[in-house]
Chains A and B, each alone.
Chain A
Amino acid sequence: MFAFIVSRILQALPVMLAVALISFAMFAYVGDPVAIMLGQDFTEAQRQALIRDLGLDQPFFVQFGKFVLNAAQGEFGLSYRLSRPVLDLIIERAPATLELALTAAALALLIGVPMGVYTGLYRNSWLSRVFLTFSLVGVSLPTFLIGILLILTFSVWLGWLPSFGRGETVKIGGWSTGYLTWGGIKALILPSITLGLFQLTLIMRLVRAEMLEVLRTDYIKFARARGLTNRAVHFGHALKNTLVPVITITGLQLGAIIAFAIVTETVFQWPGMGLLFIQSVGAADIPVMAAYLMLIAALFVTINLIVDLLYYAVDPRLRIGGGKGGH
């Protein structure tokens, strides 16, 4: 087990380096931070001085090497746009994104799994058809459009929910949370639905397909023959056996939710890391972009690791195959 974790972490290193290299190579195309920082009035001497200050006159691999060395020590420099340490910025924005992502993922699971089970069990009921039609909408509409439609309905027409921002937040240590105030919870509703809708429909369709598959298997027939209750058959035997793919997808989707919260955060002016990233792209703020991309890469690597570990917990066959012996 320990050896497994260590080997996975070692495998992660080249992945992180590759991400750093690719993102660094792409920064050449996002625009010239010097031009943006200098604004409208400058002399050539000022321009050259700034280029030197930022180290942009150095060859590509020297810049890259410096970045990797500093990043390894957790030093990402100052944001060009905000003149503040990049790490501070990301730490400040992380709670907003994480709370949004967690709420969205929870919504997706708590609503998606029961809906999937229901549509799997009662394939032909009218409610199942409604769910399936609804899931098509969720899969096919782009996130920004869903967000705008929700704002139009619930903020502009009905006036129930705020159209932007996090509402009131409470600071606990370094973590600002929106869970503890009514305003904060209201502000979470629309963005988390927008962010979670795709995942919700995905999970629902996945659970449904797996349920249909499992319900046809012999051991379910056998379980019924043993006279077990429907409840025990559906949830104790069928649902449990659908969970391995659901965990994989949910895990990977959690990474995707955090990484692609960018669109939702932009639509709702949600002050998280995605919004920070988008604004940094607009200003060619290379230190922030680089740090964010590294962070997302690290996040995916970590989630993959956790998903692998969860398999162990859910699927006894893996434990046997892992040489740890049976029970």
Chain B
Amino acid sequence: MLMRRVGLAAAAALLSLGLGVAEARTVRWAAAGDPNTMDPHSQNVGTVTMVLQQVYDALIARNPDLSLRPGLATAWTQVAPDRWRFTLRPGVRFHEGEAFTADDVVFSITRALQPTSNYGIFVDTVDRAEKVDELTVDIVTRTPDPILPNKFASVFMMSKSWAERHNATRPQNTRAREEMHTVRNANGTGAFRLALREPDVRTVLRRNEAWYGWQEASPLPAGNVTEIVFRPIASDPTRVAALLSNEIDFVLDPPLQDLNRLRAAGNIRVLEGPEVRTLFLAFDTHRDELLYSDLRGRNPFRDVRVRQALYHAIDIQAIHRTTMRGQSIVTGTLFPEQVNGFVREEDVRLPYDPARARALLAEAGLPNGFGVTLDCSNNRYVNDEQICQAIAAMWTRIGVRTQLKAQPLGPFFAQIQRDDTSVYMLGWGVPTLDALYSFQSLLATRNGAQGDGIWNYGRYSNPAMDALIQRMKVETGAQRAETIREALRLYREDVPHIPLHHQMIPWAMRSNVTIPHAANNQPYFRWMVVN
């Protein structure tokens, strides 16, 4: 009797602490794509990280508004220009029981630096990681790196001893004949642990009750999900049907054409928010003659007036209204406001003005316009082909006879990556959430250095822009902010691209489910509440 009373009292105490025996709450989640691997450093794509970041933690975590918060590190400071010091969280254990220490951090950073890693961009300036003591690590960079914490929010920490035990000290090598242990197994420190992995069928995650984050102060109350069942459903109508028929609770990528239908269904909520992804058109400004044009002997895109003319010809509001059904954020700049360096005054478009466009073409000596082929993907971005159709029609109206070549992403990227294009549309996401990433990849002159101009397939090259980009890499504080602002101004004046819009990403869920929308299109299940 006494025992029972003590038991009851203990239970009551536990309940009052909010640690009561949790009711099992399963959330069934679907998206079009399945993660290709469970390896934390092998493939840096959204479909992989959307699952992995529930299982693996990085040194630094993110809030729903993508600002930084402590993760496996509780503090970080730049102790010298080329040295960041991270203080690690004590008492953390991996899902399989290993204690988390500085050795694991050094190991994970080193692993992300391997040639077979796909996370090189996040450690691009890192020379090495040094253990100071069990719970302190120094990251030594080759050049001063002001945005290292931003990038380290994407570098997952794995257990050194676990990786060594399973012969997985490097990310999967394509030359290998054997499957690596990390392809279907995971051992992180995160809020959920991997319970079952059947590629292309289902992935089951279970709540890690010992996770430090459940008790931490955060902008939102901790979630109550105990089990996540992820099922990929590639076909759009089937994914919607599964949500409508209550077989799925949460869909990460509902198709645009079904949003109204979903909103009309009483028990479904559509959550809309911006994505950090900007669509733009880029020109071949390098060749003396375009590859795909009827104009011989000159490259019209080298003339800024022609680029401006094509900019003036685009009725972006019509695209926003009709093609995107309101699901886009029209822009005149390179990246959205979530990205460090964004300046609202520089987010201004050249107005829609066909008369001015024709006048500019005439001024440039092309009163009769010219013909050109526009390269587009047709399954990579929201409504990509339709956007390009609209633009081709608008350009043709001012005399630039535009032929559209829309292809699936495989052949499309293969083609533009050979610089085999005259003008193309691209959508650019910013995983580091810093301006440098966009400027460096898209606008720097390609010079063989890591990252510089690797996605600059029009080979735009402007010494003034290059100088600003090199400064962005090393400067800090207000000085750096001013450099970025200057680069954004140059972007507006020189029109290397025609920016179009930031993509919106709607999420759909049953109305008993709440989760904060995140602009990196990553669901944070730690904050999901199921009623």
Contact = CB atoms under 8 A, between A and B. Distances in A.
Interface in A52-92: 53-54, 77-78, 80-85, 88
A267 B410 contact: no
A43 B244 CA distance: 44
Given A53-B174, A84-B179, A40 B232 contact: no
Contacts of B235: 164, 266-269
Residue of A41, A159, A162 with most chain B CB atoms under a 10 A cut-off:
A41
Contacts of A30: 410-411
Given A40-B44, A40-B455, A159 B245 contact: yes
Given A156-B241, A267-B238, A31 B413 contact: yes
B272 interface: no
Contact of B245 (A81, A82, A155, A275): A155
B173 A39 contact: no
A41 B442 CA distance: 11
Contacts of B244: 156
Interface stretch (B88-96, B113-121, B328-336, B365-373): B113-121
A271 interface: yes
Interface stretch (A102-110, A208-216, A237-245, A276-284): A276-284
B231 A269 contact: yes
Nearest to A41: B121
Contacts of A166: 201
A33 to B, nearest CB: 8
Contacts of B43: 39
Contact of B238 (A84, A88, A268): A268
B229 to A, nearest CB: 11
A70 to B, nearest CB: 10
B237 A151 contact: yes
B234 interface: yes
A163 B177 contact: no
Contacts of A283: 36, 410
A148 to B, nearest CB: 5
A269 B172 contact: no
A19 interface: no
A85 B179 contact: yes
A200 to B, nearest CB: 23
Contacts of A42: 120, 454
A151 B172 CA distance: 39
Contacts of A275: 200, 234
B454 A36 contact: no
A258 B451 CA distance: 45
A78 B174 contact: yes
Contact of B179 (A40, A78, A284): A78
Interface string B403-426: 000001111111001000000000
Nearest to B432: A41
A165 interface: yes
B37 interface: yes
B409 A31 contact: yes
Nearest to A93: B200
A49 B173 CA distance: 11
A164 B411 contact: no
B219 interface: no
A313 interface: no
Nearest to B379: A282
Contact of A83 (B120, B183, B454): B183
Given A35-B414, A40-B44, A53-B174, A151 B241 contact: yes
B435 to A, nearest CB: 16
A78 B413 contact: no
Contacts of B120: 41-43, 46
A41 B451 contact: yes
B380 to A, nearest CB: 11
A44 interface: yes
Contacts of B201: 165-166, 271
B199 interface: yes
Interface in A148-173: 148, 151-152, 155-156, 159, 162-166
Contacts of B232: 269
Interface in A16-38: 29-32, 35-38
Given A83-B172, A267-B238, 8 more contacts: A31-B413, A41-B44, A42-B120, A78-B177, A83-B179, A83-B183, A159-B246, A278-B234
Chain A to chain B: the 7 pairs with minimum beta-carbon distance, closest first: A31-B410, A32-B414, A41-B121, A155-B245, A163-B241, A53-B175, A271-B201
